[in-house]
Amino acid sequence: MERHAAVEQLKTLIITNSLPQTDMALFGIKCPYCGKADRIHKLETPDHLPQRVSAEDSKLYGVLWHELNPESSELGVCKFCQNPIELPVAAGQANVLVDG
């Protein structure tokens, strides 16, 4: 699957299923898209999705998670602009999942 299409599918799943389930922002990490620093939320791993997520969406989420996250860093979302982002554990800075 083309990377941009995978990111758009993940974004749709995040919005449709109101992910992440927890409402805890990670302060001090800036969104690479909109620049907000108080709206970054860590996404659940595929194994920790809420039960309310359908089996079909859960399976697709798992596929997208592993495709977009080969280095096993964390994925997150900016709750302001709704863009999925990469959250490298050591860097303390969010990165875009698609360049260009």
pLDDT tens, residue order, the chain (100 aa)? 698 999 999 999 999 999 999 888 888 888 999 999 889 999 999 999 999 999 999 999 999 999 998 676 789 999 999 999 998 655 567 888 876 4
Which pairing describes strands 74-78 and 95-96: parallel, antiparallel, or unpaired?
A: unpaired
pLDDT confidence of residue 18:
95
Q: How far is CA 64 from CA 14, 19, 34, 87, in A?
A: 12, 14, 23, 16
Residue numbers of the domain that contains 26:
3-96
Sheet with 95-96: strands ordered across: 40-42, 74-78, 84-87, 95-96
pLDDT confidence of residue 100:
46
pLDDT confidence of residue 75:
93
In a 3-state reduction of DSSP, which class is residue 41? strand
Q: How far is CA 33 from CA 18, 36, 48, 91, 100, in A?
A: 20, 8, 26, 17, 12
The CA distance from 95 to 72, in Å, is 14
